[in-house]
Structure 1
Amino acid sequence: MLGSVETRSVSPVFIGRADELGVLHDALARARAGEPQALLVGGEAGVGKTRLIEEFAAAAGRADAVVALGGCVEIGADGLPFAPFSTALRALRRQLPEELAAAAAGQEDELARLLPELGEARRGSRDDEEGMARLFELTARLLERVAAGRTVVLALEDLHWADASTRHLLAYLVRTLRSGRLVVVATYRSDDIHRRHPLRPLLAELDRLRTVRRIELCRFNRAEVERQIAGILAADPDPAQVDEIFERSDGNAFFVEELAVAAVEGCCTGLTDSLRDLLLVRVEKLPETAQRVARIVAEGGSTVEYRLLAAVARLVEDDLIEALRTAVGANILLATTDGDGYRFRHSLVREAVSDDLLPGERSRLNRRYAEALEAYPTLVPADQRAPRLASYWYHAHDAAKALPAVLDAAVEARRRHAHAEQLRLLERAMELWDVAPDAVRAALRPVDHVEVYLPCGCDPEATPLRYLDLMAEAAVAGRLSGERERALKITKRALRLLEEEDDPLRAAWFWVQRSRLMQNTARGDGWQELTTAQELVRGLPPSEVHAEVLAMVASWSMMHAPGADALSAAERAVEYARMVGARDIELNARLTLGGLLVEAGDIDTGLAEMYEVKEQAAALCNTYVTGRLHVNLPSHLEGIGRSQEAVAVLREGLDVTRRLGLTDSEAWVWGNLGESLYSLGRWDEAAEAGIASERVGQSAKPRGFRATIHAHLALARGDLADAGRQLAAAREYFGTHDTMPQHDLKLVRVAIGIAAGEGRLADARAALDAALGAGFPPGTQRYGWPLLLAAATAEADALGLPAAEPGRAESLERIRESAKSLTTNVPVWQAYERWVRAELLRAEGCGAPFDWCEAVTAFETLDRPYDLARVRHRLAESLLASGGDEDARERAAELLRLAGAVADHLGARPLAESVAQLARRARLTPTRTAEPAALDPAKSLGLTSRERDVLRLVAAGRSNRQIAEELFISPKTASVHVSNILAKLGVSGRGEAAAVAHRLRLFPPETPAVRAAG
């Protein structure tokens, strides 16, 4: 009855889209060469996005690429968390089981949140700050590994239905993919993206990335419509008919198909002008049973499993199969690719059928779906069960059933780190709370539905769930998902409700959340909120909340105002956490305590505590403390001058944070690594570490780290303009809402250096006065000494300038008095104390070689080549100024030779020029006692230290990717280094470069071919 035309409503011939298909094929070719690609395909509903992706996927398959398709799933008005990624990963697992298993090895418990087939998702800490970012990073690395050996196409359809977690994961993936033969292509309906559609911000963000290409599908022109109709009819169409269909469809490919079939069936003239009616007319021509099944499928979601459909339809199986056969034959429904269920051939038809349902009919169908799924949970995949059941009951308008189902779905979303969906579900639960029966609410338990600790004063197994419990869980979900404004509103409402209750612990808990949110939203530093929480718990018995408040106070104080109060808070936090068995809080507080002990001068005890926490956190798989430790421990090591030890811990930290997917921690590790490498005189590597910090980090502060490192480098290398730009950028990234000495004092040091270099001594003094007005909190000597040194050096360099004399004595006295407040409990700060004292004497015109000898002697035992070169230059200057004998002149010449060599190696132009100028002025000749230095072949070729490292690896046969991995740089940076090396050596290929390296014996046999990292 349906005729042959209906089975061919889709043209067997692919029409048009040559340019768009060319873009996709070009992306495939680039990916095959190892350059990941990302594309967005937009167009109105029915314009042919799915057909284009199908055609591309077929061509990619013929080119030996693996294609994994995944679509966003709509259930009513809801989306399933990570649905397209889960579906695509399942497809990859079916096609490449061994490769995917190898790529996921060691992280199955985390990746199971996306692909449950990998194992049981590990339960993380209740307040996992980096949980979602960790999952995203591990997913990106999984895809890179799978795509390392063969080309993979990841196609995600219908982004306009995507849940927030899917959108966030896609954005992360596109931003961070660095290697692998991978093509990510996603489609969306452009006509559905209204001004407030949640996909719009993502599209705007991706548009700013040069790595993302957009394809907009236009409607067909008349010639293309004619070819499409000819393909459907398998004959040349009548021109008048083409004109009519083109006019009515306006070139929309799907409507062309529908109108062509309708015209052949002779019902075109009877249709109304509404295209919605056109979509329904073919459904209404089906037999009643088939229409009924179509309505059931329409309300079940984008796809409905056969067994679930059978349970809801309640038809004899033969009747159901016959109805489905009819609907499939009419091209209304299609079987899914896995053969397990059915979907509408086009979502526009499903939407039209769903919109045509009566209100009572819709709620009745949702109830039957919910009842069937509740009775037989295995009817749908396990990861979809809870959210679908929650959606069905909610749209069935049954609050008694919907409230517990929605809460169960929220728990599942939390387990998968889908915090945005968790928040939406919790808000829906709060909406249902007052309309649900009392008996239903009384049967709910906190232990089943919330994970944050809330003191109820009794057994959570026997205590009913409270509305405040939902608000607490929603506040955490909002913070973790980035919906911090919503979380702030929730905490504000909760604290208002608590004004009528005597529950100080619960109120303190909410104040702690507000403190975090105030810092996250740049509204303040969070101290006022922490102070309120501390007052609420003061005098109360030990509890987990009490321990958490004290741990937060100690951590905040360590960053902002370290001292005795911070140390006391950390000690009590550890004690209380141990008493109540809060292991995570205890480890976190002990890490803070160890750092505070180091800053207080009890170095051995503090470091021992931190190293013990390092072992215990790794044993307990506490990822948060592990990540924080690899940031804090090396920072404290750097703070006491143990830069080499810090670098070793930081290199380990890079491996750990990458393996665990801790991107924020990795960004801080890179930043700290840059600081330590700068101290060690490895400036090129320090610059690269700063860039890596910015590339990896997702927040503004890693960018501030990069700008700070580059500001110091630019200042030391004499590029004052760039130093100024970097200083301004760092200040902007760090902001003014949450000032910390570790950031501010370093930036003041740079500001003083720039002002002095530009001859603005008054501005340098003003910057110093502002810093000294705030004072140096205990433990900030690592920032205070370099700052005072910069100020003292500026004054000394300006000696003799008339404009500098007014205020000089007062400035020098302020520096001298401030120096008395800084500790010198370790060799590096003892050396700085001598250096500052010598500079102050130089500024007063009364320095002597002895003063500089002390500074040089102190720095000769340290591994800080730039600092040593600077004090050697000053000692040489003092020796020459004292009018000493020939031995003094020879010693000065040797000191200048050593200082100049370091300055040239580092590219420290101001120091190099000062050394050269002093040597010329004193008419010094090279020292007679020193042996002539052997010519360094690498230096004669103009190779930098980093280029030498790269050339070692090239000579060892490493690829750019392997070089990048071993030197912790990006493959692109490695490629740039290789190109520079080839140019400097005058060779055309890597083999020739290796031959030159061996011929010149740049890396003799007794030297390892590859220098160990760190």
Structure 2
Amino acid sequence: MGVNADACAMLGAVETKSVSPVFVGRAGELTALTEALSRATAGEPQALLVGGEAGVGKTRLIEEFTALARTQGAVVALGGCVEIGADGLPFAPFSTALRALHRLLPEELAAAADGQEGELARLLPEFGDLAHHEPAAEDATARLFELTVRLLERIAADRTVVLVLEDLHWADASTRHLLAYLFRTLHRGRIVVVATYRADDIHRRHPLRPLLAELDRLRSVRRIELSRFTRTEVHRQLTGILAEEPSPALLDEVFERSDGNAFFVEELIASHGCGTALGSLSESLRDLLLVRVEALPDDAQRVVRIVAEGGSTVEFDLLAAVARLAEDELIEALRAAVGANILLAAPDGDGYRFRHSLVREAVSDDLLPGERSRLNRRYAEALEDEPGLVRADARANRLATYWYHAHDAARALPAVLRASVETRKRYAYAEQLRLLERAMELWDDAPAEVRRGLRPMDYAEAYPSCGCDPDTPLSYLDLLAEATVAARLCGERERALKIGKMAHRLLDAAEDEDPLRSAWFWVERARLQSNLARGDGWDEIARAQDLVRGLPPSAVHAVVLAFAASWGMLRKPGADALAAAERAVEYARLVKAEGTELAARLTLGTIMVSAGDTENGLAAMREVGERTLALGHFHEASRAAVNISSALEGLGRSREAVEVAATGIAMARSHGLVDSAGWVRANLAESLLSLGEWDRVQEECELLLRTGAAGSKPGGTALLQLAHLAIGRGEPAAAAARLAEAAARYGTRDPIPQYTLPMTHVTAAVAAAEGRLADVRAQLAAVAGSGFPAGTHRYGWPLVLVAVTAEADAHGLPAAAEGRAAALDAVRRSVRSLAAQAPVWQAYALQVSAELARAEARDTAERWAEVVAAFEPLDRPHELARARHRLADALLAEGGRREEAAALMREAHATAVRLGAHPLREDVELLAARARLPLHAPEGAAAAEPEPEDPAADAFGLTPREQDVLRLVAEGRTNRQIAEELFISPKTASVHVSNILAKLGVAGRGEAAALAHRLRLLEPAS
């Protein structure tokens, strides 16, 4: 049956007489929306939430705003959340809005989607065939979200776009997540995003409530709440509807009965117009809403009931098939319903919907249980007979819902499973989970012959790796496996864990053992334990390994070994992890599981680099990167970029790491891989920090924290790099704050060296900057006892350097003497356990050795010259500047070579100024002041002789007596003890101490003592 477009158009034009032609009230709210439109037109994206109870006037406000926006040349795209029974279609409002843009701007939308049509087809099928689906890709949904935001930014680059998403209270989880992502990450384009919701439906446990709370915390989102009309506004509304002044009695009655709700005002007047006295109406809201429905002719009432059960909008041809009326009779029935302002033609002219959802709900609630199931069966049968009655992207979900509410398990189970496959293809994992749970509910009620006809390969994506036989019927355990993955991918990890435990209870109770299936579920539980920060997951991995040991090679065996190797790579890199990775590669090749093989090969290459097989390991990782790109496995290709850039940084090859990271970010972003791009960007920031490009570090980290990865571990790593940066710039309080934020993201139940060691480093550096030597010693002691695992030298050397430098700076201070021997012993133990397999770490080893000698008052200029020579060919400007400062200090201490010392200090000072490294700059300036050496050579006089040092003079203006006092202060003497030692009065000693503090520019005796030792103002204590 073809769509009667003329009938739809004709009925859509029927006059609605209960709606006021005058827009009443809402001046402030409309002003807020138009101001947002103006800001968006100027290039500043806007996001607004409009809330209010049902019937309060949200839709009318949006209609007025969008009409105004169109007159100003804006492109308006509307999308509404769909309610079909209790089920929302995945991404329904976004799909509808994009379809409107496709209709209004077909060429512009095609250009904006260029190259990503296959991915975006998950939201808008008009883009063509779906792209390759990566099984169980962790960031597949985030990838789709990123591409959607970029599409909207591109389409709104040269024109103002108003995107309206209505009825969020019905939104599916995927829509809510996409909206949150859009509001967080939309930073460009002339676009206004307005979302509406019914506030009185948002009860304490409503799923929209957490989203509203999250959006309230975003300063970029404005919320507008609509209140009920005042008596004056109801008067204006009635005047508009009646086209005359209402009588005072009618106004009083309507205002009292409606309580200022705009829709109830319309219903009361419309019911009054049907000949019903206001006073005779029932107090029941449902009865009020049904009054006009019951006044319709019988055929019109019947059609209205059918539409109420069909969903938010029912297509004309589908309605005709279910109503089973002659076309003329159906049109007359629809004319009556539209004329009574109960139904409206859909905006696209393809069907009908209720003018207000409250009426639809009232009509649906008035259906008898048997009547409801019968209508759903007729919808399902009509749709199965003619699948083209609805759009292809909605067909599976609609059919599943109709059969489910028809209470026909035999027909509902396959339909629900088919719908779950469609939602999975769209990365709507939350909706897939709900459909799978519905299939689990239907399982026992469906006839055995129906269940025997289902195959895992048709309905369960997890089947190749979870141990089931694709040639056997789909089992309940297959459903549990698929539901576990769906729950994990949509973020419902608690639910995934519960489903996994249910599966193990069933496996334990089964007569026949199924070790492969059990092992697969243990791997999933291991992953979830780590994700939920409840442990490292090793116990679960060990159980899985025990179950597959001795069994023939299988896909499950390969998955278990690959996961064990990945676990070891992160937590205990060494021989066991290497062996596990090699076995995983071998088993995956045997069973032709290329995806698992590539993941295991990447892990193997990473472990090889950590073990010292550098070039072979890097080559293996690069091969994986190339192969995954060729296969279109972009998630794994991004993981290769993460691992390669990290490995290069670990080898001190920071320039190469930056190149790999930049390429990886471009690739990840072009395919919408948000989390993967976040990981690579975190690596990029770390390498830029090493290269001394500190301003770029700040930019990259802040950019990462603004993306969807901000709440994940990449965000934690960005915060950690900002903490390192704050230490280098002399901001220990800021470093401590960043460190605390990073620690919150990493958690404490799963200690991974690549997180824990850098955090220990920052903690020690903050303590050193604040003069808390005991805390510095405690941090090193906590890790020195067990040594540093293979591959962690990149984190170990900087930590040891902080600790030994703090000891050297405190040398000669009485308060530091106790515990010094143990602390230096911890440094030596740490050095013995750290590898120095690359030039940069060999330079670090020389620097640690020189600082150790300084801590024992035996450093020499020769030692520091070796450190400088080691760092000079490396791209490590901060480390080189520190080494030059120490060499200059040693040269001055040994006497002579002042010109060479001055040149070194000038180079170190220039680097410190460029980086903004305030502690280093201060150290260099203090040393130059003490030595009376200029930090800036006069123009044209680069070779000018430095001012000779006067051994009897002190650069800080300390008199000989004050130098004597400073020496005693450094020994920890009190004013009375100083007075006795120097045969002066305590008051005179106090005056000398005050003068010393002022001349040195320090706040206390401890700082004065530390500064004196750092600058060698005193002879070292013997």
The reply to whether TM is greater than 0.5 is yes
Candidates 81, 85, 97, aligned match of 1:88: 97
Which position in structure 2 is the counterpart of 1:962? none
Paired letter, 1:62:
T
Which position in structure 2 is the counterpart of 1:338? 348
Candidates 589, 597, 609, aligned match of 2:600: 589
Paired letter, 1:574:
V
Paired letter, 1:245:
V
Deviation digits for residues 385-442 of structure 1, max 9, x if unmatched? Answer: 0111111011011111111111111111101111001000100100111111111111
Spell out the pairing of 1:214-293 with structure 2 (5 A cutoff). 214-268=223-277, 269-293=279-303
Contact 1:599–1:779 (CA under 8 A) maintained in structure 2: yes
Paired letter, 1:669:
V
Which position in structure 1 is the counterpart of 2:50? 41
Which position in structure 2 is the counterpart of 1:136? 145
Query: Hey, what's the Cα distance between the residues in 2 that align with 1:482 and 1:504?
Result: 27
Query: Hey, what's the Cα distance between the residues in 1 that align with 2:918 and 2:502?
Result: 59
Contact 1:369–1:392 (CA under 8 A) maintained in structure 2: yes
Q: Do the aligned partners of residues 162 and 457 (structure 1) sit closer, same or farther apart at CA in structure 2, a change above 3 Å counting?
A: closer
Deviation digits for residues 939-973 of structure 1, max 9, x if unmatched? Answer: xxxxxxxxxxxxxxxxxxxxxxxxxxxxxxxxxxx
4+ long deviations beyond 3 Å? 4-7, 454-459, 925-934
Spell out the pairing of 1:653-664 with structure 2 (5 A cutoff). 653-664=664-675
Contact 2:463–2:469 (CA under 8 A) maintained in structure 1: no
Paired letter, 1:806:
E
Query: Hey, what's the Cα distance between the residues in 1 that align with 2:200 and 2:467?
Result: 53
Residue 367 of structure 2 is aligned to residue 365 of structure 1: no
Paired letter, 1:833:
A
Q: Do the aligned partners of residues 454 and 644 (structure 1) sit closer, same or farther apart at CA in structure 2, a change above 3 Å counting?
A: closer
Which position in structure 1 is the counterpart of 2:310? 300
Which position in structure 2 is the counterpart of 1:421? 431
Q: Do the aligned partners of residues 780 and 357 (structure 1) sit closer, same or farther apart at CA in structure 2, a change above 3 Å counting?
A: same
When the two structures are aligned, how many residues end up with a matched partner?
Answer: 928
Candidates 475, 483, 486, aligned match of 2:492: 483
Which position in structure 2 is the counterpart of 1:1006? none
Query: Hey, what's the Cα distance between the residues in 2 that align with 1:139 and 1:102?
Result: 14
Which position in structure 2 is the counterpart of 1:841? 853
Paired letter, 1:360:
G
Q: Do the aligned partners of residues 926 and 426 (structure 1) sit closer, same or farther apart at CA in structure 2, a change above 3 Å counting?
A: closer
Q: Secondary structure of 1:70's match?
A: strand
| TM-score for the superposition, normalised by structure 2 | 0.89
Residue 517 of structure 2 is aligned to residue 517 of structure 1: no
Which position in structure 2 is the counterpart of 1:677? 688
Which position in structure 1 is the counterpart of 2:966? none
Candidates 816, 819, 830, aligned match of 2:842: 830
Residue 814 of structure 1: CA displacement?
Answer: 2.2
Paired letter, 1:188:
Y
Identity of aligned residues (%): 67
Contact 2:417–2:435 (CA under 8 A) maintained in structure 1: yes
Paired letter, 1:551:
A
Q: Do the aligned partners of residues 661 and 764 (structure 1) sit closer, same or farther apart at CA in structure 2, a change above 3 Å counting?
A: same
Which position in structure 1 is the counterpart of 2:894? 882
Query: Hey, what's the Cα distance between the residues in 1 that align with 2:514 and 2:270?
Result: 69
Residue 792 of structure 2 is aligned to residue 780 of structure 1: yes
Candidates 553, 558, 562, aligned match of 1:547: 558
Residue 932 of structure 1: CA displacement?
Answer: 5.1
Candidates 758, 763, 773, aligned match of 1:761: 773
Deviation digits for residues 28-67 of structure 1, max 9, x if unmatched? Answer: 0111011111111111111111111111110000000000
Residue 64 of structure 2 is aligned to residue 64 of structure 1: no
Contact 2:75–2:160 (CA under 8 A) maintained in structure 1: yes
Candidates 929, 933, 946, aligned match of 1:924: 933
Query: Hey, what's the Cα distance between the residues in 1 that align with 2:306 and 2:937?
Result: 98
Spell out the pairing of 1:701-780 with structure 2 (5 A cutoff). 701-780=713-792
Residue 180 of structure 2 is aligned to residue 168 of structure 1: no
Query: Hey, what's the Cα distance between the residues in 1 that align with 2:739 and 2:145?
Result: 32
Q: Secondary structure of 2:96's match?
A: helix
Residue 673 of structure 1: CA displacement?
Answer: 1.3
Residue 586 of structure 2 is aligned to residue 575 of structure 1: yes
Query: Hey, what's the Cα distance between the residues in 1 that align with 2:380 and 2:936?
Result: 91
Deviation digits for residues 710-732 of structure 1, max 9, x if unmatched? Answer: 22122122222222222222222
Residue 928 of structure 1: CA displacement?
Answer: 8.3
Q: Do the aligned partners of residues 923 and 798 (structure 1) sit closer, same or farther apart at CA in structure 2, a change above 3 Å counting?
A: same
Query: Hey, what's the Cα distance between the residues in 2 that align with 1:307 and 1:334?
Result: 16
Which position in structure 2 is the counterpart of 1:198? 207
Q: Do the aligned partners of residues 364 and 656 (structure 1) sit closer, same or farther apart at CA in structure 2, a change above 3 Å counting?
A: same
Which position in structure 1 is the counterpart of 2:405? 395
Contact 1:693–1:705 (CA under 8 A) maintained in structure 2: no
Query: Hey, what's the Cα distance between the residues in 1 that align with 2:137 and 2:76?
Result: 34
Paired letter, 1:211:
S
Query: Hey, what's the Cα distance between the residues in 1 that align with 2:66 and 2:918?
Result: 56
Runs of 5+ unmatched residues, structure 1:
935-1014
Residue 194 of structure 2 is aligned to residue 185 of structure 1: yes
Which position in structure 2 is the counterpart of 1:470? 479
Query: Hey, what's the Cα distance between the residues in 2 that align with 1:924 and 1:130?
Result: 57
Q: Secondary structure of 2:585's match?
A: helix
| TM-score for the superposition, normalised by structure 1 | 0.90
Residue 18 of structure 2 is aligned to residue 9 of structure 1: yes
Contact 1:707–1:726 (CA under 8 A) maintained in structure 2: yes
Which position in structure 2 is the counterpart of 1:105? 114
Range 493-502 or range 248-257, more displaced = 493-502
Candidates 833, 854, 857, aligned match of 2:866: 854
Q: Secondary structure of 2:754's match?
A: helix
Residue 582 of structure 1: CA displacement?
Answer: 1.2
Residue 914 of structure 2 is aligned to residue 902 of structure 1: no
Deviation digits for residues 766-814 of structure 1, max 9, x if unmatched? Answer: 1110011342001111111111111111111111011212222222122
Q: Secondary structure of 1:185's match?
A: strand
Which position in structure 2 is the counterpart of 1:911? 920
Runs of 5+ unmatched residues, structure 2:
1-10, 944-1022
Q: Do the aligned partners of residues 619 and 371 (structure 1) sit closer, same or farther apart at CA in structure 2, a change above 3 Å counting?
A: same
Q: Secondary structure of 1:434's match?
A: helix
Q: Do the aligned partners of residues 259 and 6 (structure 1) sit closer, same or farther apart at CA in structure 2, a change above 3 Å counting?
A: farther
Paired letter, 1:147:
A
Q: Secondary structure of 2:68's match?
A: helix
Query: Hey, what's the Cα distance between the residues in 2 that align with 1:339 and 1:656?
Result: 41
Which position in structure 1 is the counterpart of 2:830? 818
Deviation digits for residues 816-843 of structure 1, max 9, x if unmatched? Answer: 1221221121111111111111111111
Paired letter, 1:352:
A
Range 544-553 or range 93-102, more displaced = 544-553
Paired letter, 2:825:
E
Query: Hey, what's the Cα distance between the residues in 1 that align with 2:490 and 2:716?
Result: 23
Paired letter, 2:371:
E
Query: Hey, what's the Cα distance between the residues in 2 that align with 1:355 and 1:904?
Result: 73
Candidates 211, 222, 227, aligned match of 2:220: 211
Q: Secondary structure of 1:778's match?
A: coil
Query: Hey, what's the Cα distance between the residues in 2 that align with 1:422 and 1:264?
Result: 47
Contact 1:454–1:509 (CA under 8 A) maintained in structure 2: no
Spell out the pairing of 1:965-980 with structure 2 (5 A cutoff). none
Q: Secondary structure of 2:275's match?
A: coil
Residue 929 of structure 1: CA displacement?
Answer: 12
Residue 459 of structure 1: CA displacement?
Answer: 5.1
Q: Do the aligned partners of residues 378 and 711 (structure 1) sit closer, same or farther apart at CA in structure 2, a change above 3 Å counting?
A: same
Contact 2:466–2:520 (CA under 8 A) maintained in structure 1: no
Paired letter, 1:59:
L
Q: Do the aligned partners of residues 314 and 767 (structure 1) sit closer, same or farther apart at CA in structure 2, a change above 3 Å counting?
A: same
Query: Hey, what's the Cα distance between the residues in 1 that align with 2:91 and 2:706?
Result: 25
Query: Hey, what's the Cα distance between the residues in 1 that align with 2:468 and 2:210?
Result: 45
Candidates 354, 358, 366, aligned match of 1:348: 358
Query: Hey, what's the Cα distance between the residues in 2 that align with 1:928 and 1:349?
Result: 85
Q: Do the aligned partners of residues 595 and 323 (structure 1) sit closer, same or farther apart at CA in structure 2, a change above 3 Å counting?
A: same
Paired letter, 2:787:
G
Contact 2:704–2:710 (CA under 8 A) maintained in structure 1: no
Which position in structure 1 is the counterpart of 2:629? 618
Q: RMSD across aligned C-alpha pairs, in angstroms? A: 1.8
